[in-house]
Structure 1
Amino acid sequence: MRILQTATVVTALALSSGFASAQTSNIVDFDSLLTTCSNSGPTCVSQLQAALATINAAKATLSPAAVDGLLGSLATVAVSAARTHTAVATELAGVLESAASSASPTRQAALSNIANQVSSGAANEVDLSGVAGSQTG
């Protein structure tokens, strides 16, 4: 019983201080997102929009670097989807442009550039190094 009480107190403290929210790995399941995006372009767009909304909702509890890392991962998935599903490239570019507006000033330009490349049909030429911290899934 004492262990349960201690665990409850530790959990409450972690939640109140934001430590639990700082764990970015649980905010968006990028492996699942990558699988979804490899199968269906339209579904991918809606899932990326939902993931971006989740990231934006968590922004207040995350460091700018953590947010940028999540947005870099989102960009990686979006670019991968754009390479496979060219019919939804414009919609994917829109998600990337929205992600750019959520990023830190140092990452905004890189994400906007990626959005422009995807929109113009040049997803195969995208260099993701400008959004360091990207996960490839």
Structure 2
Amino acid sequence: MQQFLYDIDLDNGLTQDDYADFGKFVGIYESKVEKRPGYFNWDDLNFKNFCKMNHIQQKGTQAKKVQNNHFWFCADQPADVTPKDIAHNFLRHIRNAFSHGRITVYRGKHNRKYYIIQDFTLKGNKNMSGNIRSDLLWGMIERLLNSSKNTK
């Protein structure tokens, strides 16, 4: 990384490793995910079991009190993106949140790292919010990237 970038403190709690991981994810999204709606499987058994085992609410509601390991997001995709794919949409929200500087970190119980993740529409309305332990977010993403509806 360029030295001058190290010298700029963003006060969001993200480490250099976080930036590297999210930056790589953005690259993966752009090259392997963006053009493949309909390929990923939100109902993949491995993904669902991972969420259940780790008490992750896969897709909660905006009205629910904010709590750890909870997400809500607008499942509507842009009009030019078909077919509908909730997993693809979730991954897009994560990409947007990082790209727009909407991910922050806090330390929870036992000093565990949690990400607060938000995405907004072009009009400024929140259309995704999440609060999740960092290792669990990467576990979700890994399983979704490996899921398939066999529509290659």
TM-score, normalised on structure 1? 0.28
Q: Which has a greater percent of strand?
A: 2
Larger RCO (alpha carbons 8 Å, 6+ apart): 2
TM-score, normalised on structure 2? 0.26
